Amino acid sequence: MYSKYHAAVVGSINMDLILKMKKVPDAGENVLGTSYGYANGGKGANQAVGLARLGAPTKLIGKVADDENGRKLLENLRKNNIDISGVSTKGTQTGLAAIILDNDGYNRIVVYEGANAEIDPDEASAHITDDLDLLLLQFETSEDVVIKCVNTAIKKGITTVVDCGPAKQFELEKMQGATIITPNESETKALTGIFPDTEETILDASKILMARSKAKYIILKLGSRGCSVWDGENLTLMPAYKSNVVDTTAAGDCFTAAMALEFLRSGDIISACDMGNKAGSISVSRMGADASMPTVSDILNFNKN
């Protein structure tokens, strides 16, 4: 379904330490965890795995260190058939994310950027080649890397999708004309000052994002409320599919990867977001970050439910 689309991701690669607990601690409080484990993560790596599981030949551009976590993460990327020729191993320490997960599957994440913050903008952009159909980026690398790579891809006419996680202020004016800008709720608040909790605030925030970035589409990821699409004329709200939530980590990464590929295939932003909602719903019903990414057959079976 997606095997003819050549995709690349510029982004972070992290080892995730996942600690589960009944209730997350307040400031100054100690709580007991119920279990912990390590998982492959990082927004860039998750999105690359999301694309590859859906069948797209995928290249990841990023950085790790030549340390134990870096080696394990690269091995996992290879197993997922991801081209890692654009991943440098010269970082000082591989990125780490400490994820605390409550009983309802909702997370809080602290990221140590490590090597992800050491990616060189020129080295990264040199891997954005003319044969690519799609480039995905997030904000878990430096602003210079994102800006340089987005502008390189736009100049080459590559469909460019910017996932705005994690939440931070960012000079969207420095990358004009991406295909899709897609923040979640807290990222929307960080970029616009508006929390998108009503139709009116969703529209106001989407208009600001479009005015600042000149992107073709603004897609807000709204967690259990699904997503919204603004094309400059119409706002479409698309409710989420019901799901048995186990772990919301990387739901946004999963949504972005599936939505972007379906947009390439169909050229239809609404059917792209429907695919994103399906993939996101599957992702939250599974534990882990990259481990929760669905295949095409998972999504086709999901259709039958």
Q: What is the binding site for ligand RIB (CB under 6 A)?
A: 12, 14, 16, 41-43, 46, 97, 109, 111, 140, 165, 249-250, 252-253, 289
Rounded CA-CA distance 260/242 in Å is 22
Task: Tell me which of 64, 248, 288, 299 binds ligand ATP, using CB under 6 A.
Answer: 248
CB of 36 to ligand ATP, least distance (A): 18
Rounded CA-CA distance 141/123 in Å is 13
- Selection from ligand ATP, ligand RIB, none that 41 binds (CB < 5 to 8 A by kind) is ligand RIB
Binding mask 252-291 for ligand ATP (x = CB under 6 A): xx-x--------------------xx--xx--x-------
CA 222 to chain centre: 14
Asked if 206 is part of the footprint of ligand ATP (rule: CB under 6 A), the reply reads no
Identify residues 159-188 at the interface with ligand ATP (CB under 6 A): 165, 184
Question: How is residue 157 written in tokens?
Answer: 């006419």
Identify residues 221-240 at the interface with ligand ATP (CB under 6 A): 221-224, 226-227, 240
> How many residues of this chain interact with ligand ATP, rule: CB under 6 A?
24
Torsion of CA 298, 72, 288, 8, to 10 degrees: -60
Task: Please list, in sequence order, all residues whose beta carbon lies within 8 angstroms of the beta carbon of residue 154, skipping any fewer than 6 positions away.
Answer: 160, 175, 176, 177, 178
CB of 188 to ligand RIB, least distance (A): 16
Report the residue number whose CB is nearest to ligand RIB: 41
CB of 180 to ligand RIB, least distance (A): 17
Segments of the chain assigned E as strands: 7-10, 14-21, 33-41, 58-65, 83-91, 95-101, 107-112, 134-137, 159-163, 180-182, 217-221, 227-230, 235-238
Q: Which helix H or strand E contains 151, and what residues bound it?
A: helix 143-155
The reply to whether 16 belongs to the active site is: no
Which residues carry out catalysis? Answer: 253
